[in-house]
Structure 1
Amino acid sequence: MDDLFRECPVSVTKFSKWKHPPNQTVKINFDAAYDERSSQAASGIVVRNTEGKALISCLEIHHQIGSAFAAEALACRRAVQIGIEMKWSKIIIEGDSLSIIKKCKENREDKSHIRAYIHDIQQIMSRSRNLTFEYIPRATNSLTHILARESMKKREEIYLVDSVPEYAEFQRVNDSVR
């Protein structure tokens, strides 16, 4: 039995916690939930400052969405729109969809079925030089995951300034502890 365990190494992933952005930078985290049966998706977006304070939380419902991949692209597009509209000087867009993050970083035409969303994101990005994309694991992106999931369940859209919905407050506080 011991030989079996020696031959099959186990990788242990260290749990990572959401990290505060550097000085004068905001982080905009996004995530999406998708319901294939109804072709509906929900986006969860949170903007936080260097202290971890929620500046904006945004929950949106989208109809006639073809895939979970498209739902993530929509959430990312909305996160970029918020960042550009608010005119913050330095913006980090974080999400747990590695494919979407990679596509947004690329400086070429996307050929996938979400090319229209990626093109929109690249067009919006062209209005700012201070916007970067970073991938984070889902466990680190739990606040926006909670928002997207609950928005999908409740079929509600919310836009809050300086707070998050009550059901996500515990996670926001937990994330803001350094």
Structure 2
Amino acid sequence: MARNDDGTVLLSCSEIHQGVASAFAAEVIACRKAVQIGIEKQWPTIIIEVDSLAIIKKCKNKSQNRSQVGVYIHDIQQRTGRSRNIVFKHTPRSANALAHILATETLKKEEEVYLVKNVPGYVENQKEID
């Protein structure tokens, strides 16, 4: 889920990945995708909100990461190293309900989503709440 500083949805995106070892790994993959899209769209500021402090620390730390998700972390570090406008911010899981519903429904429906300036109908109510 990408929003501007007013909270307006810029992009909603969810993908299905086979063989992802953990929720932690899925979150790292989502961060990588958010960084990639933000750079491709040339958004002036990219704030990646993550509910895992461990992921934030790994992405900010420039040393080599040897964990299972190390290759994704390395890619994030490479991409963010070339751009000064990317910030990683901790957000509690409870404040990220829209992204959680989008991910959960994607798994249930086995249907990927990529919508510019919109969200799927099943998360429209949560978008208004947020």
Higher helix share: 2
SS in 2 for 1:62: coil
The amino acid of 1:82's aligned partner reads I
Native 8 Å contact 1:47 1:57 kept in 2: yes
TM-score, normalising length: structure 1: 0.70
Which of 2, 10, 21 is matched with 1:66 structurally? Answer: 21
The number of aligned residues is 130
Deviation at 1:154, TM superposition (A): 0.8
Matched, 1:165 2:120: yes
Q: Deviations over 1:115-135 (max 9, x none)?
A: 111001111212311111011
Distance in structure 2 (CA, Å) of the matches to 1:127 and 1:99: 22
Give, in whole Å, the separation in 2 of the partners of 1:87 and 1:168.
26
What are the ranges of 5 or more consecutive residues in structure 2 without an aligned counterpart?
none
Which of 20, 31, 34 pairs up with 1:79? 34
Indicate the residue corresponding to 2:6 in structure 1: 51
Shift of 1:50: 2.2
The correspondence for 1:94, drawn from 49, 55, 65, is 49
Query: Does the residue aligned with 1:140 lie in a helix, a strand or coil?
Result: helix
Of 158-167 and 98-107, the range deviating more from structure 2: 98-107
CA RMSD of aligned residues (A): 1.1
Rg comparison, structure with higher value: 1
The 8 Å contact of residues 84 and 127 in structure 1, kept in 2 or not, is answered as no
TM-score normalized with structure 2 length: 0.94
Q: Compute the displacement of 1:51 (Å).
A: 2.1
Quick check: 1:128 aligned with 2:75? Answer: no
Alpha-carbon distance, 1:114 to partner: 1.1
What are structure 1's unaligned runs of at least 5 residues? 1-45
Q: Runs in 1 of length 4+ with deviation above 4 angstroms?
A: none
Does residue 1:103 correspond to 2:58, yes or no? yes
For 1:63 and 1:166, the matched residues in 2 are separated by: 25
Higher relative contact order (CA 8 A, sep 6+): 2
